[in-house]
Structure 1
Amino acid sequence: MKVSYLYIILFSVVFWSCDNTPKRSTIKSNLPAEAKGNRSYGGVFRLSEAEYIKSLYPPNITDAFSYRVAAQTYEGLFKFNKENLEVINCLAENHQVDASGTIYTIKLKKGIFFQDDACFENGIGREMVASDVKFCFTQLCTQSPTNQNFPIFKDILKGATQYFEASAGGKKPSFEVEGIKVIDDYTLQLTLEKPSSVLLYNLAGPATFIYPKEAFDKYGIDMRIKPVGTGPFRLSDVDENISMVFKRHDKYHGVDEFGNKLPFLEAISIQFIKDKKTELFEFKKGNLDMLYRLPTEFIIEILEETGSNAAGTEYAQYDLQRAPEMLTQFLAFNTQDKIFADVNVRKAFSFAIDRDKILEQVLNGEGFAAGTHGITPPSFKNYDINQIKGYTLDVDSAKYYLAKAGYANGKGFPVVTLQLNSEGDRNTNVAVEIQKQLKDNLNVTVNLNLVPMAQLVDNSISGNYNFNRMAWQADYPSAENFLWIFNGKDVPNSPKSGSFPNIMRYRNNTFDKFYTQALNAKSIEEANRLFLQAEQIIMNDAPIIVLWYDEGYRLIQSYIKNFPNNPMQYRDFSEVYLERAKDSKQEI
């Protein structure tokens, strides 16, 4: 039954200190309770993440946890439709592309304001204009330890590569990026070196979120935890590694289909809970509104009970959302490492893993399919991953390749370390099983090194690892997003120099050729044909071990509305609302 609020409601938000002592403060809603279309204003959406954010500074957003958090306070020129993931306008009102496919003229919406922040005069956020976009895109073309996302513009945006090279060592180039031109306050023109089939996807992704120069000048590297954007929520409170609270941006420009001013929610509260059983307990107590990923030992019970309407079942009261994800779980080899530089060793490890056992017995089926093809998951139209031959358990082949590398029956093979983050206990359970299988099937010893996600990312970029547990979640719905991390053009020769996104430091000229041809293809069909050929080359060289293709499980409290699941776990809270009985109180 649809209900609406008739009164102003007080909502208590719990902030957890380092000693886990709860502190309470009250968020007072000044919004009307009722909205058109049987929607409701007010309330706090409470969720958790298994890992703390690494950085909320757009050029340095490299992990899914940071992306999901940053997307609530920042926006780009474009964004994704939360249901079908099509690229739609956001800060842009419209855009045109010339006949050559290289000149994009983008009209900005008027009346879009940055969130109030101390970086502005009198703390009042000003209007966003085209020069803000130019500043952010120029920063993305500037060499800096906090800029890992330049590859999205490299050799694509005209003059970007020259500017990047000229900015080495902190230098300020004497020229501007040729391909970025401000026509007027509400018109921007981007000129490309050549047509790009992925530009709009990248302009909807986290690297191109827009922020004001005032914030960059005031906070510098502290923008890691001091974001200022145009999004529906502004960061209000931070307790590092514990919690973050985002409150409503009152001057947000968005409206819904009924003309309601967005967002509906008063705030979003994010807690960082590493243990999945603890997270489930908090969800069942009503302290969380969403549970993403289920504790392995409870999966079967939850799947059986949700939606059953059976009396006395614990989980029937919740909504279970599940869908194949644009996410692949894998192990990444450092191909500049002394041991894993040998393709025979990589193939031996690839044949020694029983992916079906991991999926069915360790994960209790919480995944879409075993990773027996390439890195691209089966989530994209007109891209048939069945054409890609990957690896399945074959102990004889595993032993053959290890012997070919000079380590027959594992004799003389050094101890290697698998580095991983916990994400609850799922990753650890999988790693322990992999450790056992490699010992049983190859007689090699693998140590496990459990580190925080931020350290795992830093170690991966710096090459400080043998092999790592990794996952790649698409920033946009295209197979290209999975293959670009293998582009070898920018891999440094020195093993001590940073490498991103190609943390494997993988190089193959034939792969690079097919990949580049696909980027410049005139149709999606032609591009996918070339991407498939490129992906097969990757699997032949085995710089990674594909483990499984993920499936997203989300438990949602039944009063959460207008929050569809999607294969990218792209979360847009701007139109989410809570359906609650009048006079209710929500404590988190």
Structure 2
Amino acid sequence: MKRQKAWKVLSTAALLAVLAVTGCSQSAAPPQQGAQGGSTPEQATQDAGGQADMTAKLRLNLKTEPPSLDPPKGFDSTSNEVLNATMEGLVRLDKDHKPQPAMAEKWTVSEDGKTYTFTLRDSKWSNGDPVTAQDFEFAFKRILDPNNAFPSAFLAYYIDGGEAFNKGEGTADGVKVKALDDKTFEVHLNAPAAYFLHIITQPTFFPVNKKVVESNPKWAENASSLVTNGPFKMEDWVHDQSVKVVKNDGYWDKDSVKFAGIDWVMVNDENTQYQMYKTSQLDMVQTVPIDMKKELIDSGEAKVEPEASIYYYRMNTTMPPFTNVNVRKAFALAIDRKTLIENVVQGKQPAALAHVPLGFPEPEGGDFREKGGDFFKDNDVEQAKELLKKGMEEEGWTTLPPVTLTFNTSDTHKAIAQVLQEMYKKNLGVDVKLENKEWNVFLADQRARKLQFSRSTIPADYGDPVNYLELFVTDHPGNRINYSNKDYDALVEKIRNTANETERFKLMHDAEKIFMDDMPLVPIYFGTKVYMDQSNIKGIIRHPVGTIDYKWVEIGKK
């Protein structure tokens, strides 16, 4: 079955063009560009409707407390939003979503595509210390240290010796990253990875101040002890209430920062957030009330942009009834996604009938998802009933074991969960209990694999389908549902070490088929971004793959 090309309403061509360039060519760094992306100062000021207000602060809603502002530990969208404003890695995505020089002013790549040598620019930490190659070596090895158990460590498995160290089978000395001197940092990969520069734009790979981290294990827990190197520095952090950052005048590219700072509040109610936006207490919102979404989109007040992401529910494969593959398939097939999207989610999302989202270009052209097609039919209720019956007979169940569907606090997540609850009752005769948890508690429980049936939104960490496939290798920290298939594991490992792109993409399609045959998740929809900006705000960069960036914002005077 081939997917209908509904994504074209969200500009498939534009997204494909973006992702096609996220893996930079393996050559010397591109020439530096004044503001490193975004609008030019003159253009942004003109677009903002007048002279930019250099004293203004951007007022945003973080919704909830960031789980951690330690880069490899804060592996979630909330933490990353703050980290991307206050810290910076070797490269940074520009307005065209391409990696550009940041802490590294240039780099070279060896002929075999495995060794990257970065030359650092002169830059300082917010406490005045110089940012050195030794800080990067320390940070990269720290990501992989098994004693830290960072959830994002897998992203560094592309580094030679990284996976072995993280799994307790190697040492820190075996991780092939090295400070050749204060300004030269070398990284050696297991195999060529054209998307490596995109990977290291992820906050996981931001440097940390070696002296600060070694002297204070709690350095990232409060504003007073946070030492950063990005466009903004921490001013105040009232836990569970607000985060305030101000322009970092010690930042190497401070002239590109055209406003005074950012004030985040933490309001986890979409209606309250919307009212704050309408009364000009917020300059931007990233979600809108579900009962108003269609009206706001149709009127043009709310904008929609594509995003390489998927919204789904995870089924813990060691917790009955999801120990049975046919029961899992029944839960995936019994949902009417079209109705759910049109009447509840309302963001022009394509229904997800597979795992890897739209937006990843094939080597010979076209989209990975469109080539791979769908793996099941939407709202296939009769087949779902047959599969549920078969699964229960296989297990000897006359009554299905209790099912608890868990979501984190959000009006949208709650509405989706309630509709799923109704559909499962109507289509399968199954009573599903709903459970709501605050974000930090939810995330901790899901990562600990304590949840039976739980929601996730997974945006791409970098521009390649393997990012989605690697998450479900046995015991991978992103797995969270105890899924395990030896054939799948072996295939993903082969993908990581295959240099020929045509062959590698074929293997990725094979791996996705194995995964979907096992059906350890219930795909719901592929993502879009629905947002509203005040008319005097310009320059917010929303990457289809990557963290939202405020560096180049300009706030027009009203």
Give me the TM-score of the superposition, normalised by structure 1: 0.81
Alignment of 1:511-530 (within 5 A): 511-530=488-507
Aligned pair partner of 2:291 in 288, 297, 317: 297
The answer to which of 409-418 and 265-274 deviates more is: 409-418
Aligned match for 2:197, one of 179, 197, 200 = 200
Corresponding residue to 1:433 among 392, 415, 419:
419
2:375 maps to 1:390 = yes
Shift of 1:167: 9.3
Contact 1:322 1:553 in 2 (8 A): yes
Q: 1:574 aligns with which of 535, 542, 551?
A: 551
The 1:526–1:68 alpha-carbon spacing in structure 2 relative to 1, beyond 3 Å, is farther
Does the residue aligned with 1:304 lie in a helix, a strand or coil? Answer: helix
Structure 2 segments unaligned to the other structure (5+ residues): 1-40, 46-50
Q: Over residues 271-304 of structure 1, what are the superposed CA-to-partner deviations in whole Å (9 max), with x where a residue is unaligned?
A: 1111111101000000000011211111122123
Instruction: Identify the match of residue 88 of structure 2 among 53, 75, 85.
Output: 75
Structure-1 residue corresponding to 2:458: 472
Once the two structures are superposed, residues 378-426 of structure 1 have per-residue CA deviations (whole angstroms, 9 ceiling, x without a partner) of: 1222333132323311111111111111259984112111111023x10
- Aligned: 1:150 with 2:134: no
Question: What residue in structure 1 maps to residue 30 of structure 2?
Answer: none
- Equivalent of 1:360 in 334, 337, 342: 342
Q: CA RMSD in A?
A: 2.3
Q: Larger Cα Rg: Structure 1 or Structure 2?
A: 1
Structure 1 residue 324 corresponds to structure 2 residue 306? yes
Q: Distance in 2 between matches of 1:94 and 1:577?
A: 27
Letter in 2 for 1:74: M
Q: Secondary structure, in 3 states, of the residue corresponding to 2:392? A: coil
Question: 2:230 and 2:461 mapped to 1: Cα distance?
Answer: 18
**Quick one: structure 1 residues 525 and 147, their matched pair in 2 at CA, closer, same or farther if it must change by over 3 Å?**
same
Number of the residue aligned with 1:229: 228
CA distance in structure 2 between the partners assigned to 1:416 and 1:225 by the alignment: 39
Distance 1:355 1:164 in 2: 39
1:377 maps to 2:357: yes
1:206 is displaced (CA, Å) by: 1.4
**Counterparts of 1:92-111 in structure 2 under 5 Å?**
92-109=104-121, 111=122
Q: Which residue pairs with 1:129 in the alignment?
A: 132
Amino acid at match of 2:68: S
Residue 504 (1) aligns with residue 481 (2) = yes
* CA shift in 2, pair 1:300/1:151, >3 Å: closer
Q: Over residues 164-219 of structure 1, what are the superposed CA-to-partner deviations in whole Å (9 max), with x where a residue is unaligned?
A: 45599xxxx6x624412221111111122333344322211111111102331343
1:85 touches 1:477 (CA, 8 Å); kept in 2?
no
**Do the aligned partners of residues 166 and 329 (structure 1) sit closer, same or farther apart at CA in structure 2, a change above 3 Å counting?**
closer
- Please tell me whether the aligned partners of residues 459 and 465 of structure 1 are also in contact (alpha carbons under 8 angstroms): yes
SS state of the match for residue 438, structure 1?
helix
Residue 129 of structure 1, CA deviation: 0.9
Contact 1:252 1:263 (C-alpha < 8 Å) held by counterparts: no
Give the paired residue count.
503
Aligned match of 2:409? 422
- The aligned residue for residue 141 of structure 1 is 144
Q: Which residue of 2 aligns with 1:345?
A: 327
Cα-to-partner distance string for 1:490-537 (whole Å, 9 max, x where unaligned) = x1xxxxxxx511112222233233323332333444433322221122
1:265 pairs with 248, 259, 276, which one?
Answer: 259
Q: For residues 276 and 388 of structure 1, what CA distance do their matches in structure 2 show?
A: 35
Query: How far apart, CA to CA, are the structure 2 residues paired with 1:478 and 1:146?
Result: 24
Q: Which amino acid aligns with 2:368?
A: D
Deviation at 1:153, TM superposition (A): 2.5
Deviation string 1:350-402 (CA, Å, 9 cap, x unpaired) is 11111111101122x22421112x22221222333132323311111111111
Residue 282 in structure 1 maps to residue 276 in structure 2? yes
- Structure-2 residue corresponding to 1:181: 178
What's the secondary structure of 2:86's corresponding residue?
coil
**For each residue in 1:134-153, what CA deviation from the matched residue of structure 2 results, as whole angstroms up to 9, or x when unmatched?**
11112112123452222122
Kept after mapping to 1: 8 A contact 2:408/2:438: yes
1:252 maps to a residue whose letter is: Y
Taking structure 2 as the reference length, what is the TM-score of the superposition? 0.85
Structure 2 Cα separation of the partners of residues 241 and 181 of structure 1: 38
| SS in structure 1 of the partner of residue 216 of structure 2 | helix
Query: How far apart, CA to CA, are the structure 2 residues paired with 1:388 and 1:303?
Result: 28
User: Alignment identity in percent?
Assistant: 24
| CA–CA distance in structure 1, aligned partners of residues 205 and 427 of structure 2 | 46
**Moved runs in structure 1, 4+ residues, more than 3 A?**
35-39, 161-168, 224-227, 407-411, 523-526
Tell me how far apart the structure 2 counterparts of residues 146 and 212 of structure 1 sit (CA, whole Å).
19
CA contact (8 A) 1:59 1:146 kept: no
Matched, 1:212 2:198: no
Alignment of 1:115 onto 2:126: yes
- Select the structure that is richer in helix: 2
Are the counterparts in 2 of residues 421 and 452 from structure 1 also a CA contact under 8 Å? yes
State the match for 2:28 in structure 1: none
For residues 19-75 of structure 1, give each alpha carbon's deviation from its aligned partner in whole angstroms, at most 9, with x where no partner exists: xxxxxxxxxxxxxxxx76646323100111233211111121221111112111111
Change (3 A) 1:166 1:351: closer
Distance 1:380 1:140 in 2: 27
Residue of structure 2 equivalent to 1:64: 77
Which of 510, 531, 535 is the aligned partner of 2:512? Answer: 535
Q: Which residue number corresponds to residue 17 of structure 2?
A: none
Structure 1 alignment gaps of length 5 or more? 1-34, 117-124, 256-260, 307-314, 492-498, 582-588
SS at match of 1:465: coil
Q: Aligned partner of 1:262: which letter? A: S
Give the match's secondary structure for 1:535: helix
